[in-house]
Amino acid sequence: MFEFLWNFASFIVALGLLITVHEYGHFWVARRCNVKVERFSIGFGKTLFKTYDKHGTEFVIALIPLGGYVKMLDERVDDVAEEDLPYAFNRKSVLQRIAIVSAGPLANFIFAVFAFYCLMLIGQTHTKPIVANIVPDSIASQSALTSKQEIVAINDEKTQTWQQVQMALVGLIGDDSVSISARDVGSSLVRKYTLDTSAWEFEPSKVSAMTSLGIEPYRPKVLTQIAAISANSPAEEAGLKVSDHIEMIDGVEVKDNWQALVSQVEQHPGENIQLSVLRNGQIQQINLTPGTKDSDDGRKVGFIGVSPTAEAWPEQYLINVQYGPLEAIGKAFDETWRLISLSFKTIGKLITGDVSVSNLSGPIGIAQGAGDSASYGIVYFLGFLALISVNLGIINLLPLPVLDGGHLLYYVIELFSGKPVPEKVQEIGFKFGALVLLMLMSISLFNDFSRLGQ
């Protein structure tokens, strides 16, 4: 229940903030173009709160937080008094209308730059992209790429962290080949490896890009010393304690081999097992009955409800990414542009079929992402806000008539033809756009609910 409330609250904060930024972009430019704004609404439906400014604009917070709008004076929508005609949106030049409509997505991009700027100033410790293992018979195994190498570039795009490697690889889905530049840890000699990705397929919602290629990232060894115990778990009921070191299960040695421990426990759901535990220098025998849960493939497996400790990261495998006030500006623009480029590439590959529509996420997926990132701290939440802000801006630029991009398309046609698009054509376009948007939202929601069941 707490997880649901946390995710929901994080979702409301994130979406409310980004919608406000988007609509404020429209609002600010409309005011500069001398257009009368009648309402600035965050959310739809029943009004929860409203107030007015000195210009008579009504500011509203509504019940359903899945969007917002800026209502401007417009003869095409309502009757306009003679004295107010100079302030109507439809009476403005086509360039002014283009500026007002494009200001929303532009505001989202500017916010992403701001979020990345704050993130760069605060700084964050990342893990370097060190390869721990190449999975046999995988795509990566067909190249000469080996373990204990650091990936320094993907298709000549520099990569300092695993996050950058992941983003670079996601943008290459559907390509026939991928170039990976890597060097041995501690060496300056860089070698280039080419991976044949013509048969590369994976689902980003289930597995990372590098894992799907057969590249396993380095992680410190996970020990069988207990770091945390879940409340009301089989481990707590059996009397296990934090710092206990599990060395054997039913006579099978599992000392400092977390996967072996997990395997042994999973094989005995609901069955009594005996643990040999090192506590305060003494070996103790503890009887325990694992609980039962469903695995990803539908099997019944055992669990005991403990989290392990891990060895510390080697200092040479870590990198602190932090910049000064001036340098952070350029880096923030670079990261925002990288996200924008990746998003457009992904949309293009959705259209061509290189990326499956099963990877689309809706409000539930966004809520889970918001909750997870917020739980990790302000730096992760800022990164999440930047990502969603860029995506919100790009989605609104799609040439669907119900979105900002659709309006921009009509105004660009008007700019070059010298006359507005006929209202009947616009009406057909709005219906088509609404149908496509409804279809995409339905697919996204279906994907969200499908993932909840996994």
Catalytic residues: 23
Rounded to whole angstroms, how far apart are CA atoms 441 and 233? Answer: 39
H/E run at residue 158: strand 157-158
Beta strands 252-253 and 177-184, pairing class: unpaired
Rounded to whole angstroms, how far apart are CA atoms 16 and 11? Answer: 8
What is the Cβ-side half-sphere exposure of residue 438, based on CA atoms within 13 angstroms? 6
Contacts of 441 (CB under 8 A, 6+ apart): 362
H/E run at residue 183: strand 177-184
Rounded to whole angstroms, how far apart are CA atoms 208 and 216? Answer: 10
**Structure-token pair, residue 183:** 């060097």
Q: Rg (Cα) of the chain, in Å, rounded?
A: 27
> Sign of the C-alpha dihedral, residues 70, 398, 178, 218?
positive
> Sign of the C-alpha dihedral, residues 60, 62, 65, 67?
negative
H/E run at residue 168: helix 162-170
Rounded to whole angstroms, how far apart are CA atoms 88 and 74? Answer: 5
Percent of the chain that is helix, strand, coil (3-state, to 5)? 45, 25, 30
Q: Mapping DSSP to helix (H, G, I), strand (E, B) and coil, where does residue 121 land?
A: helix
Q: What is the number of helices (H) and of strands (E) in the chain? A: 11, 18
**Taking a C-beta distance cutoff of 8 angstroms, is the pair 39, 61 a contact?**
no
**Structure-token pair, residue 200:** 């590369």
